A and B are shown apart, each in its own frame.
Chain A
């Protein structure tokens, strides 16, 4: 048994929130630089220039890249030989979020009583936490600060086996098209296929945690990723919907076995300009 104190977890979450909001990951940055080379539309290129400049300003001013500093989503892989001490795990995560959003001049965007009073919780808590028990004595935290614009344009469908691969392609393309400028393209497209109604959305979100441009090790999934990316970038939506060839920076597909009667598909969109995720291992 290895002991990890909740203070260590809270501090790690705080640091992840701050860095994720001020500093865009290297992989996303590279994707933007490549996109600028590839984009043929003058307005689209202009947008990519502005976004690259924004990344530099956010980093130097320690100001969030986007005013929507998001809902904090944490994927925790807890080693089964870890003993968390000193308090409750999820409270520690919320403590880290609270501290970051207060000291870091980040916007608090969470409201309670979602269909009535919609009162701001004033510290951006609670975080959405997905915990998985894994072998080992480490604790891995992957954190996303997920903005509302792209999240609102995400969709889920319970397709039938007859819809098959083509049905999945149609649904993903339709989702990106319907989202258009609202999701702040160029987007990163997380696609979950299989599992159940509840798990397929999580699969799609987990796909967003992958390094941009990484390829699914399964050749069939990798082929689908490449095909979808190509098809999405033929839609012409372009950066911010101003027209162009770069509508998505990447498509990541994750799969899970499913019931003989089912073919669940979820598309979780992530705005490229503020694709914020970070990982730490304790």
Chain B
């Protein structure tokens, strides 16, 4: 699983790409991602619940959970590493049902999200938290798509080139956060 050369994948995702991914795979992601965090998620799900159309088409899309730092003049984006995904858990199953196929963040997902990932044939990637300066260099464009009034929490479209990530949850129920520690844990002597 680990140590293999990273696989290059395109986003938005097609089913064939998702089907080939397994927990522990390293990937380099190129194409376009959406950004959304707490406030945008709340709005998207509220719109779905009211039966209103979404301002963006989620089918095949990948959401990156990020709240970037402001860019220096001449830069596309400031430091832009992943935020904790678990805060988005209450909203995620509804977005997966609406066509979302991938998420990039860091940290554990709820059982409901892991089940929805399997049910809808989706994938959850982990990016390296605390490497926002490096990840910002892999983002070549950023434009606001929706909810501009939310400021830094607006939905952006990011163009990424070789954005590094690791598959945490694959569509078959594989879970790197569960299996990886088992592979490296050493029993502690119980005295």
Contact = CB atoms under 8 A, between A and B. Distances in A.
Interface of A: 40-44, 46-47, 50-51, 53-54, 57-58, 61-69, 105-107, 120, 148-149, 152, 180-182, 184, 231, 234-238, 240-245, 271-274
A41 B185 CA distance: 11
Interface of B: 2-3, 24, 26, 66-72, 75, 78-81, 83-84, 86, 106-108, 126, 128-134, 136-137, 151-152, 164, 166, 176-177, 179-188
A234 B69 CA distance: 35
B133 A61 contact: yes
Given A61-B133, A274-B130, A107 B69 contact: yes
A236 B130 contact: no
Q: A65, A120, A242, A273: which has the most chain B beta carbons within 10 Å?
A: A242
Contacts of A152: 84
A64 B151 CA distance: 20
Contacts, number: 176
A66 B132 contact: yes
B107 A180 contact: yes
A184 B79 contact: no
Contact of A67 (B3, B75, B132, B180): B132
Contacts of B166: 43, 240, 242
Contact of B184 (A47, A180, A184, A243): A243
Contacts of B186: 234, 236, 245
Contact of B108 (A47, A181, A184): A181
User: What DSSP secondary structure best describes chain B's contact surface?
Assistant: loop
29 contacts: A43-B166, A50-B128, A50-B134, A63-B132, A65-B79, A65-B131, A66-B130, A67-B67, A67-B81, A106-B70, A107-B67, A107-B68, A107-B78, A149-B84, A152-B84, A181-B106, A182-B107, A234-B187, A234-B188, A236-B182, A240-B129, A241-B180, A241-B181, A243-B2, A243-B176, A243-B179, A243-B180, A245-B186, A272-B130
Nearest to A245: B184
Nearest to B68: A67
Contacts of B164: 50
B34 to A, nearest CB: 17
Nearest to A120: B151
Contacts of A63: 69, 72, 75, 78-79, 132-133, 136
Contacts of B80: 67
A47 B136 CA distance: 16
Contacts of B66: 67
B182 A54 contact: no
Contact of B185 (A44, A61, A234): A234
Given A54-B131, A64-B69, 13 more contacts: A42-B3, A43-B2, A51-B128, A65-B131, A67-B83, A68-B67, A181-B177, A182-B106, A184-B106, A234-B187, A236-B186, A240-B166, A271-B129
A106 to B, nearest CB: 6
B133 A54 contact: yes
Contact of B177 (A69, A148, A241): A241
A66 B106 CA distance: 13
Contact of A105 (B69, B151, B181, B184): B69
